[in-house]
Amino acid sequence: MNTPTESAALRFAQGPRMNALTLVQEQPRETGARLEIDLGAIAANTQLFARRSSADVMAVVKADGFGHGAVDVARTALANGASSLGVTGIEEGVRLREAGLRAPVLSWLNPVDADVESAIRQGIDLAVPSRPHLEAVITQAAAMRMTAQIHLHLDTGMARDGSEPSAWPGLCRAARLAERSGTVQVVGVMGHLGCADHPSDPCNATGRTRFAWGVEAARSAGLRPAIRHLAATSATLTDPRTHHDVCRVGAGLVGIDPSRTVALRPAMTLTAPFVSVRRVRAGTNVGYAHTWTARAVTHLGLLPLGYADGLPRAASGRAEVLVRGRRRPIVGRISMDQVVVALGDNRVEPGEIATVFGPGDAGEPTVADWASWADTIEHEIVTGIGSRVHRHTRAAHAGALRSLS
């Protein structure tokens, strides 16, 4: 027999285990904020880019496909005109392989001690920006008695990733030596433009010239890079001189055009149900630090999502949502998990759905609206949606909804 204290202690110790079991057995019914991803939009956007250039399209699916699901975006893009995939780190590429995708994959940003072995084994091309990176690839490929496919990466004017021009001829010569030993094959040369969103900026001409010089220098060193690539979304849309053999398109696939020259289709719709609605008097202060005060009697609705779910706090005081076909302001500060919407004389029922953003067809705010309210870019909004938002993917063809979480 246990004493009462011992029994309580035992129950306490067993409690969490039993709860964990319960959780595994019955999934809680889904409620709350919901993100719907329209793969039809991604299909249409990919087709537009494939038509736009005679170069091949590399679908850039870094950062989980710009928050849209890397595997879904990759599959959809490959079925609609893209012929290869681009990611930042090797792990992102490995996940594409694990999902069964066999298209060429390029990973372009890795520390020197990255898991090069996995990349080589999985047939993932690696961008090489420096001699230490090249040495790491050579060492690993030699140990595996395999040939790594690499793209030499030249800094074409951002002072970010890529080889400095002064180190480039040496990098090309070292890569050529490694080709002779069979450890690497230089299949590509890449650069990246820092000002392509503004096509008339002279930085673009400098980048193009430097890239052409880099390709020439590689050829002089005896390399024969078949895949030259410089353009991302904006340059693909605005400057055919940057297209070369492959255009690396990321933002454009998910409906973001930083050059503001074409109408792409946004793919995300974020909604949430009202948790509660209350009627308040004039003079009522709302939220942390009372940054908003009701001027007249109004209804206030509470939505269960906040900055931990990806609504930028910087949009406080400007952001709106769509309720019953009308834009309504979010009032007071955006909190971590919740926001308050001023509904005026409209008494909304708890459980009714507000649209936080979508393609804009019904007058709802867009991701672009949210970006401007928060003084940021659309990329930051779509990659920032938190993990507790339920995700659903609408297939490109049938319009069927597939539940992801």
Ligand X SMILES: *Cc1c(COP(=O)(O)O)cnc(C)c1O
Residue nearest to ligand X (CB): 250
List the catalytic residues: 62, 288
Q: Measure CA of the first residue to CA of the last residue in the chain; give whole Å.
A: 44
- From the number of C-beta atoms within 10 Å of its C-beta (0-12, 13-18, 19+), residue 73 rates as buried
Nearest CB to ligand X, comparing residues 60 and 342: 60
As a whole number of angstroms, the distance between CA 243 and CA 209 comes to: 13
Give min distance, CB of 62 to ligand X, in A: 6
Minimum CB separation of residue 157 from ligand X in Å reads 13
- Measured from the CB of residue 313, what is the shortest distance to ligand X in angstroms? 25
User: Considering beta carbons, is residue 107 or 185 the nearer one to ligand X?
Assistant: 107
**Distance of closest approach, residue 126 Cβ to ligand X, in angstroms:** 13
Contact between 119 and 165 (Cβ < 8 Å)? no
Least distance (Å) between residue 303 CB and ligand X: 30
**Which of 162, 332 has the CB closer to ligand X?**
162
CB of 66 to ligand X, least distance (A): 7
Query: Which of the 8 DSSP states describes residue 316?
Result: T
Q: Which residue's CB is nearer to ligand X, number 231 or number 348?
A: 231
**Among candidate residues 264, 227, 294, the one with its CA nearest the CA of residue 83:** 227
* 102 vs 64: CA distance, rounded Å: 18
Q: Are 233 and 58 spatial neighbours (Cβ–Cβ below 8 Å)?
A: no
Instruction: Please report how close the Cβ of residue 256 comes to ligand X at its closest, in angstroms.
Output: 7
Relative orientation angle of helices 70-78 and 39-52, to the nearest 10 degrees = 50
The structure tokens listed for 159 are 């002072």
Binding site for ligand X (CB under 6 A): 60, 62, 108, 192, 232-233, 248-252
- Sign for the CA dihedral angle at 191, 192, 196, 202 comes to negative
Q: Do residues 292 and 303 make contact, with C-beta atoms less than 8 angstroms apart?
A: no
Paired with 150 in beta bridges are 126, 186
Single out the residue of 12, 27, 68, 19 nearest to residue 45, CA to CA.
Answer: 68
* Whether the Cβ atoms of residue 314 and residue 374 lie closer than 8 Å to each other: yes
Check: CB of residue 289 under 8 Å from CB of residue 335: no
Q: What is the largest CA-CA distance in the chain?
A: 86
Q: How far is CA 98 from CA 39, 92, 102, 147, 391, in A?
A: 21, 10, 10, 21, 21
